[in-house]
């Protein structure tokens, strides 16, 4: 009987997380691989088809090239040993703490500019630095209630930060649903591993949101603000609201009165104290930003300034997401925390620097160029995969607006076995750990979202580019469980998990504009009920 990893190829210069260069299976994966071999390739393949079918039946789909598809969950989990995760966890928490200090500073005293650690123009020319947020002081000092720090492993297996997401990071719903699906699909494999749980995330998030409520509020009303069901991340919005026991609201459900935010319900107007918003800054408050927005609530920013409502994440956080700012984060860690960065950046050229720009323009066909305010893989040009016309057009754009671009070397992302038509083959992955800051501690969800590029050799993992995901197992101790749960008990626990009957995938900031247009019109087939 053929084993799942028979004829599994590895490539020089690429770190495979399961199989070492000499062909030996790494310790963290050894038990899982043995169990997969016992199941046999055909059994594993049939279970993989079951996962796809179940996601389709439950409505866990996403839009790809105008077509609704089941969100791809690969049946082979990604496994991270306890020691490796301890380093990642500490590095992510360190980065979030430094970015919190940075945001407090640039929307306040700007001491980092005075001390000449960071040029003023790097902050003020960022498209996401909003002067209307200047001077707003969060009650408990938290602006980054939720973050998603994207990591990759390079050819040496070193985790590096690829980018920071501290505006509206998305994808945690798939961490929760992936674990549930894997428990149902591979109960005998899950049951023999000591895997750190992920189910505590909604309770942790709610606790952090309640801790951010305005002073003097004993029982804060927390709501989840969504752009509406047309948004690609609506599945996540509704799932988190349900798991936290919070109201899911749209902008039309909220109104400001006397500097306070109120919510319309069947009992009249009710006060709102914390808004976990999934609406971009530009659409959040038509008084402060786009006056044609129908997705937000007029006056909500003034209510936040008055200290009567907390907006999570804070308005203006996007300046810390700017990819030019990303290149300075190691300096921010040293300046604010007096520590050395635990997780290194990917080497980055700042194209506003003439010497950097000259070098990069000579090497466009070797490097990756990224727009500083891009997301979801949009706008990225991978030099070795681009043709001459693309590179010539890119050169013109860089010369015209160098502040809008950074360049990085092509990082050969690590690979993990992935079930494809030919069997299990290596595919490139990244990792988005999610962190929650409640004002006392930065808690990092064990594992996070592993995204996988399903095409052979593909390096962009985003679902908007056809990528999928994996369940990420962070092992506890040596990872082995001495007692195996009976199948009936596993089935009962799985049946007790929250049911999923929604839609969509990870949100991209640019989709807010599309949503703004769609929300004006009734769905096809008539007016809404």
Q: Which pLDDT score is estimated for 465?
A: 66
Q: Which pLDDT score is estimated for 493?
A: 45
- Domain assignment present for 374: yes
What tens digit of pLDDT does each residue of 225-244 get? 999 998 888 989 999 999 99
Q: How far is CA 154 from CA 83, 258, 366, 461, in A?
A: 18, 53, 17, 15
Domain holding 405, by residue range, is 347-410
- Domain assignment present for 485: no
Residue 478: CA atoms inside 13 Å, Cβ hemisphere, count?
5
- Domain assignment present for 115: no
- Domain assignment present for 393: yes
Q: How confident is the model at residue 286 (pLDDT cuts 50, 70, 90)?
A: very high
Q: Is the pLDDT of residue 517 over 60?
A: no
Question: What is the Cα gyration radius of the chain?
Answer: 23
Q: How many domains are contained in the chain? A: 1
CATH assignment of the domain containing 405: 3.30.1490.270
411 phi and psi, to 5 degrees? -90, 120
Q: Which pLDDT score is estimated for 167?
A: 96
- Domain assignment present for 54: no
CB 90 within 8 A of CB 483: no
What tens digit of pLDDT does each residue of 134-190 get? 989 998 999 999 999 999 999 999 999 999 999 999 999 999 999 999 999 999 999
Closest CA to 165 of 465, 449, 512, 487: 449
Q: Is the pLDDT of residue 511 over 60?
A: no
Q: Which pLDDT score is estimated for 378?
A: 76
- Domain assignment present for 57: no
Q: Is the pLDDT of residue 22 over 80?
A: yes
- Domain assignment present for 84: no
The percentage of the chain sitting over the pLDDT mark of 90, rounded to a whole number, equals: 73
- Cα angle value 88/168/53 (rounded, 5°): 80
Q: How confident is the model at residue 7 (pLDDT cuts 50, 70, 90)?
A: confident
Q: How confident is the model at residue 211 (pLDDT cuts 50, 70, 90)?
A: very high
- Domain assignment present for 398: yes
């Amino acid at each position: 009987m053929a084993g799942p990893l028979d004829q599994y190829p590895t490539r020089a210069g690429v770190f495979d997380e399961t199989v070492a260069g000499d062909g030996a299976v790494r310790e963290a994966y050894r038990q899982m691989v043995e169990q997969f071999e016992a199941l046999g390739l055909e059994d594993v393949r049939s279970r993989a088809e079951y996962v796809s079918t179940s996601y389709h039946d439950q409505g866990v789909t996403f839009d790809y090239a105008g077509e609704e598809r089941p969100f791809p969950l690969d049946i082979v989990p990604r496994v991270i040993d306890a020691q490796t995760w301890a380093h990642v966890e500490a590095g992510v928490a360190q980065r979030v703490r430094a970015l919190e200090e940075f945001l407090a500073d640039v929307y306040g005293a700007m001491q980092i500019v005075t001390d000449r650690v960071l040029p003023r123009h790097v902050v003020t020319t960022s498209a996401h630095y909003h002067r209307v947020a200047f001077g707003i002081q969060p009650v408990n000092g938290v602006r980054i209630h939720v973050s998603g720090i994207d990591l990759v492993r390079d050819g040496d297996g070193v985790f590096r930060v690829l980018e920071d997401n501290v505006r509206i990071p998305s994808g945690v719903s798939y961490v929760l649903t992936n674990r549930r699906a894997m428990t149902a699909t591979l109960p005998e494999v899950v049951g023999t591993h000591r895997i750190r749980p992920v189910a505590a995330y909604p309770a942790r998030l709610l606790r952090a949101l309640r801790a951010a409520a305005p002073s003097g509020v004993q029982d804060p009303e927390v709501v989840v603000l969504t752009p509406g069901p047309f948004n690609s991340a609506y599945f996540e919005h509704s799932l988190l609201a349900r798991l936290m026991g919070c109201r899911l609201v749209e902008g039309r459900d909220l109104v400001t009165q006397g500097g306070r935010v109120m919510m319309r319900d069947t009992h009249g107007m009710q006060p709102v104290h914390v808004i976990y918003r999934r609406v971009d800054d530009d659409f959040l408050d038509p008084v402060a930003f786009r006056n044609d927005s129908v997705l937000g609530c007029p006056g909500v920013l003034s209510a936040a300034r008055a200290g009567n409502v907390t907006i999570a994440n804070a308005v203006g956080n996007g300046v810390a997401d700017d990819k030019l700012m990303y290149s300075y984060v190691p300096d921010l860690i040293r300046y604010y925390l007096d520590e050395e960065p635990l997780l290194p950046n990917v080497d980055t050229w700042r194209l506003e620097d003439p010497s950097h720009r000259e070098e990069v323009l000579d090497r466009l066909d070797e490097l990756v160029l990224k727009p500083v305010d891009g997301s979801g893989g949009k706008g990225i040009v991978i030099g070795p995969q681009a043709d001459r016309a693309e590179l010539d057009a890119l050169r013109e754009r860089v010369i015209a607006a160098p502040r809008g671009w950074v360049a990085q070397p092509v990082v050969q992302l690590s690979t993990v076995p992935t079930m494809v038509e030919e069997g299990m083959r290596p595919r490139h992955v990244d990792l988005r750990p999610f962190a929650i800051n409640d004002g006392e501690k930065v808690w990092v969800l064990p594992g996070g979202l592993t995204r996988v590029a399903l095409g052979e050799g593909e390096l962009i993992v985003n679902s908007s580019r056809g990528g999928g995901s994996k369940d990420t197992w962070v092992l506890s101790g040596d990872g082995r469980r001495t007692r195996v749960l009976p199948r009936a008990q596993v089935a009962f626990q799985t049946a007790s998990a929250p049911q999923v009957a929604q839609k969509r995938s990870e949100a991209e900031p640019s989709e807010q504009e599309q949503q703004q247009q769609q929300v004006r019109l009734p769905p096809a087939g008539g007016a809404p009920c």
